[in-house]
Amino acid sequence: MIKETLLLINLHASSNSNIKDQYFINKDVVYIYIYKALFSRTRKVQVKSSVFQQEPFPYNTIKVTLILYLVMALGFILEAISFFLFQLYSKSFAELITALPGQPANVSFKQYSGYIATDDQHGRALFYYFVEAETAHPLSRPLTLWLNGGPGCSSLGFGAFMENGPFQPGENGILVKNKHSWNIESNMLYVESPIGVGFSYSNTSSNYFWNDTRTAEDNLRFIVNWFEEFPYYKDSELFLTGESYAGHYIPQLAALLVEYNKRPNIRPIKLKAIALGNPLLDLDISVLAGDYLWSHGAISDDTLLLEKTVCNDSKYLREYYHGQLSKECKDVFNRVLDEISGDVEKGDLLMPKCLSSNSAQQFRLKGLQGKIYAEIDRRTRGTIPDPCLPDRIFTYLNNPQVQKALHANTTHLPYYWDFCSGPLVYQVDNLDMDLLPLIAYLLEQNIRILLYSGDQDAKVPLTQTRLITNNLAKDLKLVPFTKYGTWYDKEQVGGWSQSFGRLRDGMNLTLLTFATVRGAAHEVPFTSPSQALTLFKSFLSGSPPPRLHE
């Protein structure tokens, strides 16, 4: 089952292979700059050397021969320089962060960041940010690895600085303490994966073409090598967490860890459980959003009927990612987008749009009304998610002083850091992989699984994740341990949940939990930080989400 689910797809069959062959000669690192200039959607990179331009060679044979020798010599020189720089800067290292620019005073926990090499020969390294638990004895707490999805989105930008990390950039680059940071309960490890995401990179051009299988294998190498840099955490219980397309990353990594622990003469990695937020698990189920959008008043009766009879979300995504979008699907989903409106984010139906500082000035109220508005804004800040936070994170992580403090971008990558825009090219047909057999396998291995859903997310609606949970419980003959009902964050309803499991040694063993998070979006910890922390705490303890008076 694992081999079938983790089937390696030949990257050379990718539709992008003609692009790759056109611009890359062998594995020379110099050609990666052409690649990054082509595929970085946010910034352009100027390449001045005529070696990289598609100019015709002169007809004189001697000149052609000389130019070819020069190209080969340049390739060897740059490859040698690349290898030297990788050895010098990007070996695995555990670098203590003395202080981040704008960091609050009296921070009691340690932070580390840097690169973990996953392939020395090809110069491949993943960037990580590690935050120890905010306690006097961090080794007494578990270790949690967090991955964002995409595929191709940054766990540093989303996970660490927008969702559940210790700090968020405020005005003027000053970091604000996140009082609901998950390092209150656990040591937190954020990894920018795969290569081509954020600050993670390779000196070999072909290393920017990835699929699920290669990503899982590289993530396993990362974990094994990371423990060599942080050996005192080898005995810690490990939890894997993530959201969205991490519904692919995390289960496949967990399965590899299960298999790794079966090897002879190795120290087992203590994988305990995985948690997936609004996860893509099965394209035929996870993304169907018609009924959800209609029930929220976001699309009309006629449009819902078109989604049910002409083209639904699964069909649209398959056609779109394979470059075969039909007129019927295009017409239906243009209508969907028109009715939802460009001012509403599909991942959060409640989130207001960000008005930049320049635009916001046009709408700022004057006089008494302005003072009242400012006071309301002051009181609600921290309780309502800030739609402009991503802009501040982008600015902060592109600050050279911040990168220096993070030990990031040590080889001066020829593009800006960005949330989801980088040189990565992903095997798009992997989106159609069914992860449910792998989820079932992990449950059979007694790996606990939490599936949680922000109830304002229309990208992967809660209705679909609940359907998947119920199907898994039925197929595996898991027994409901709780009735479907409300769980609580302090004295407030945090959402609805139900847990399933089986008897083991005469005791109830909770294996599968589904939970909604009330008012939350696709990125649950960002929009509902208090509920997310409560849910995370129960997940670590192996308990169902707390019910009233529990």
- Taking the C-alpha atoms of residue 532 and residue 184, their distance in angstroms, rounded to an integer, is 12
**Distances, alpha carbon 210 to alpha carbons 11, 165, 255, 268, in Å:** 7, 27, 19, 27
Tokens matching residue 468: 């998947």
Closest CA to 205 of 75, 31, 37: 31
Q: Would you tell me the crossing angle of helices 436-444 and 462-475 to the nearest 10 degrees?
A: 50
Contact between 187 and 133 under an 8 Å Cβ cutoff? The reply is yes
- Residue 345 DSSP symbol: B
Distance from C-alpha of 16 to C-alpha of 12, rounded to nearest angstrom: 8
User: Is 295 assigned a catalytic role?
Assistant: no
- For residue 45, CA distances in Å to 78, 403, 452 come to 18, 20, 40
Nearest residue to 537 (alpha-carbon basis) of 239, 280, 330: 239
CA atoms within 13 A on the CB side of 180: 21
Tokens encoding 484: 């479907």
Which residues sit opposite 190 in a β-bridge? 129, 146
In angstroms, rounded to a whole number, what is the distance separating the alpha carbons of residues 441 and 447? 9
The number of residues making up the chain comes to 550
Residue 351 near residue 387, CB atoms below 8 Å:
yes
Question: Of 122, 180, 407, 522, which one is the catalytic site residue?
Answer: 522
**Are 467 and 525 a contacting pair, CB within 8 Å?**
no
The DSSP annotation for 124-165 comes to: EEEEEEEE--SSS-GGGS-EEEEE--TTT--IIIIIIIIIIS
- Active site includes 14? no
Known catalytic residue at 522: yes
Query: Rounded distance, CA 419 to CA 151, Å?
Result: 11
Number of Cβ within 10 Å of residue 9's Cβ equals 14
Judge contact between 33 and 52, C-beta under 8 A.
yes
Residue 17's Cβ-side half-sphere holds a number of Cα atoms within 13 Å equal to: 7
Annotated active-site residue in 348, 455, 457, 489: 457
Selecting among 155, 244, 286, 528, the annotated active-site residue is 244
| DSSP conformation class of 287 | T
Please give the structure tokens belonging to residue 527. 């929009």
What gap in Å lies between CA 207 and CA 11, rounded to an integer?
10
Token reading at 444: 């059979």
Residues known to be catalytic: 244, 457, 522
